[in-house]
């Protein structure tokens, strides 16, 4: 059976790896990913300077997923350049992916240039969609600003694949607006979706919210967001499927979940909330379940199912 994937010149030995966020901040966490069955090592979304993020409590697991308002806590981009070099020495055949986030256009351009010039990094995911920074909007909901920023990013010299992590869109018109922007540039991939932002979960026993930052609002992940992620993957696949790779993130906790999102149009999948809950053992389990389900359905290659949703 064939379950590899290719983005430009980057080969993924399998289609399942980690999303930026859970368990990918420290050298120890990144090394654990490299020693797991994750098909790549995605590093934490990094900013020009290190950040402590939002005050605690800022993450809580719940029955159907998780809510978080971490606030982009990270060690700063220079540390992740160091981490990438160390990881590439240990895991030379594993794709190393930098996730970058800025608070101005100048920030983004600085980070893109830095990682384009770092030989240990294979690919760049530009985060346009973090919902958990106080006072900062999600860039990808402002189409004019997104267009201007993406245009400037592609003026930075370098040939590494660049893609964008997008927020959930709730209206097909907005998905089409973003797709039309992406078509204008040599975008290699998009990741759908970041957590569903600004949600509230209350503990009825204590009569309090579960997290403290941002007026108790946080990004929702897990089972809650799977139908939203599926819809975004499908809409973008129908608009962009022949132009760039679509990576699914949101609500994966089983091999059947992976199968569904490939049907919708994803070529690779990222694990988030389930990685928080189960640690790196989740990669082996979900991969095994996916292989078994493919075998049960008599499929031998992911290309046989990507985007092949049988429409009514």
Closest CA to 198 of 220, 228, 218, 225: 218
- Yes or no: say if 142 and 173 are a contact pair by the CB < 8 Å rule: no
Instruction: Give the largest CA-CA distance in the chain.
Output: 55
9 contact partners, CB below 8 Å, separation of at least 6: 159, 161
CA dist., res. 7 & res. 64, Å (int): 32
Which is catalytic among the residues 36, 129, 188, 267? 129
CA dist., res. 24 & res. 19, Å (int): 9
Which is catalytic among the residues 24, 130, 249, 282? 130
130 is catalytic: yes
- Return the structure tokens found at 213: 């930052």
46 is catalytic: no
User: What are the angstrom distances between the C-alpha of 292 and each of 15, 92, 263, 272, 287?
Assistant: 15, 29, 16, 22, 9
Point out the residues that are catalytic. 129-130
């Amino acid at each position: 059976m064939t379950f590899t994937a290719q983005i430009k010149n980057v080969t993924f030995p399998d289609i399942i790896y980690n999303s930026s966020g859970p368990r990918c901040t420290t050298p120890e966490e990144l090394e654990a990913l490299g020693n797991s069955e994750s098909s790549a090592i995605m590093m934490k979304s990094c900013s020009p300077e290190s950040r402590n993020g939002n005050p605690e409590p800022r993450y809580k697991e719940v029955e159907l997923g998780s809510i978080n308002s971490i606030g982009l806590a990270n060690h700063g981009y220079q540390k992740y350049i160091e981490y990438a070099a160390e990881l590439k020495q240990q895991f030379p055949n594993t794709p190393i992916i930098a996730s970058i986030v800025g608070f101005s256009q100048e920030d983004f351009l600085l980070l893109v240039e830095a990682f384009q010039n770092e030989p240990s990094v294979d690919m760049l995911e530009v985060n346009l969609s973090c919902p958990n920074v106080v006072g900062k909007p999600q860039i990808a909901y402002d189409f004019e600003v997104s267009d201007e920023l993406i245009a400037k990013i592609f003026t930075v010299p370098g040939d590494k694949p660049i893609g964008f992590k997008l927020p959930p869109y709730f209206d097909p018109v907005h998905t089409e607006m973003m797709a039309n922007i992406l078509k204008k540039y040599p975008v290699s991939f998009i990741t759908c979706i970041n957590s569903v932002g600004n949600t509230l979960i209350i503990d009825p026993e204590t009569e309090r919210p579960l997290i403290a930052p941002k007026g108790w609002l946080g990004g929702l992940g897990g089972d809650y967001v799977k139908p939203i992620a599926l819809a975004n993957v499908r809409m973008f696949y129908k608009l962009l499927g022949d132009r760039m790779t679509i990576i699914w993130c949101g609500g994966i906790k089983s091999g059947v979940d992976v199968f569904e999102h490939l049907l919708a149009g994803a070529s690779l999948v990222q694990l988030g909330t389930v990685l928080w809950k189960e640690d790196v053992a989740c990669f082996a389990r979900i991969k095994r379940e996916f292989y078994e389900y493919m075998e049960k359905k008599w499929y031998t290659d992911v290309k046989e199912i990507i985007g092949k949703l049988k429409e009514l």
